[in-house]
């Protein structure tokens, strides 16, 4: 899958959890969603994007969620 598509999808998930007042919980919820509903290849690809490109195009909250809680 194209990285741009994954970025768009991850940001949409981040937008959904933006209303969560607890930032740490929002990050866990974002990562939990990715871990539950994204394939291993999709998770590996977005994690690699964060590592190699510092997550360019991703919302800061999504980058933090991926860096701290994603199971690639």
Q: What is the pLDDT of residue 72?
A: 77
CA–centroid distance for 71 within its chain? 11
Alpha-carbon distance of 53 to 33, in angstroms, equals 22
Q: Does the pTM exceed 0.85?
A: yes
List Cα–Cα distances, 39 to 36, 54, 71, in angstroms: 8, 21, 11
pLDDT tier at 62, thresholds 50, 70, 90: very high
């Amino acid at each position: 899958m194209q990285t741009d598509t994954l970025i768009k999808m991850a940001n949409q998930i981040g937008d959904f959890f933006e209303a969560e007042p607890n930032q740490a919980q929002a990050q866990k919820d974002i990562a939990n969603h990715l871990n539950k509903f994204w394939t291993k290849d999709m998770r590996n690809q977005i994690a690699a994007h964060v590592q190699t490109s510092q997550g360019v195009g991703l919302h800061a909250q999504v980058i933090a969620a991926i860096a701290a809680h994603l199971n690639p």
